Amino acid sequence: MLLDLTDDETLLKSSLEAFARQELAPRIKPFVDRHEFPTELVKAFLALGFMGTAYDPDHDGGGLGTKGAAIVAETLARVEPGFAAIYLCNSAPMTVIARYGSPELKARWLGPLCRGETLASFGVSEPHGGSDVAATRTRAVEDGDDFVITGSKIFSTNAGTPLHGLSTVIATTDPDKGAKGLSTFVVPVGTPGFRVGKAGRKVGWRIADSVELYFDECRVPRANMVGNRGDGLKQILTTLSIGRILVAAAALGLSRKAVDLARTYAAQRKVGGAPILSNQGLAFPLADALTKIHAAELMVRNASAIADAGRPFRTETSMAKLFASEMAGEIADLAVQVHGGYGVFEEFDVSGLLGEAKVLQIVEGTSEIQRLIIARELAE
């Protein structure tokens, strides 16, 4: 498989790298150290239109599909994985609106999101449910031309930030139908009864706030339903599959960062008068890391191409996400080990990579969930 980029993809990558080099890299560390959402940096990123990379130009998107979105996630994560998290967690609600929303919903929300005028969050996971989306207890009860939503969600990233404008929320509209009774709604910030909890401190994604969402008889118009009633589970599973490609791409970027830091340190650090990089005990594991990174890149590109072609892609995305996120953990651990004692001090960027990699192994479905999905191929 050739890894050459198209002219548009090359321009996207070079523009992103310029932003990352000139704006993000010099300014992001204090925000990471404080676990603080970098509002002004995110505004600068949004103003460049990168949030719309994947989506239809009719809604002010870039039209570069999942492959373009993966380029964004990887490039950002190579500098700061938490900044990539802000991007990919905004992409999930954008994707569900873009794929299933009415023309009115797209005009009202997708265009502004593509233009970077606001941020969105995804309301799926619940305290009792974990990976079982079908166990949703949040209810949406029909009342005239409205639905009244009651319940809560957890781990909703981007919610509660100064730029947060809406959440896409999955709720039970027909409890007697089980998983077939789930529907998705757009809930704008400021809707009475919609409240956001306090952000917790995480070992990874430290600048990307993740909070609980509360809905206390939160009334939204019927027009805010995304797609058809009862299609919520299908919508969310498809959106999660696309999200897994972006998580895999972020893991790829993180792994490249880990190798960059390890290689630079090992080339400068001398023991017995020679750089420790000349020691095969370190050089060979780094060679293995480069090989795995290449394999992960092929998997991400392949899964992106299949998704953009409109073919079934769930298994391939799970494979890419599983391999890339597990790889990121291994390579982050190696990079810390290369740094020796310095690797555990927060002054060194490498110290935070293990936590960042662990988050990627959990979000958008844990490694165990990915193995479950892949294992189903054995029975077919």
**Catalytic residue positions?**
364
- Between 232-268 and 280-308, two packed helices, what is the crossing angle to 10 degrees? 150
Count of Cβ atoms closer than 10 Å to residue 376 Cβ: 12
Distance CA 338, CA 343 (A): 8
Residue 187, SS3?
strand
- Judged by DSSP in three states, 188 sits in strand
Q: Return the closest-CA partner of residue 236 out of 167, 316, 170, 152.
A: 170
Q: Could you give the CA distance from residue 18 to residue 229 in angstroms, rounded to a whole number?
A: 44
Are the CB atoms for 21 and 12 separated by under 8 Å? Answer: no
**Calpha distance 324→326 (Å, rounded):** 6
Backbone angles phi, psi at 15, to 5 degrees: -65, -40
At position 315, the amino acid (one-letter code) is T
Q: Tell me which DSSP letter residue 313 carries.
A: -
Q: What amino acid is encoded at 61 in this protein? A: G
| CA angle centred on 203, ends 348 and 194, rounded to 5° | 135
Helix (H) or strand (E) holding 149: strand 146-157
Structure-derived torsion over alpha carbons of residues 109, 114, 115, 120, reported in degrees to the nearest 10? 60
d(CA 86, CA 294): 25
Q: At 203, is the secondary structure helix, strand, or coil?
A: coil
Distances (CA, A) of 277 to 285, 339, 348: 11, 11, 18
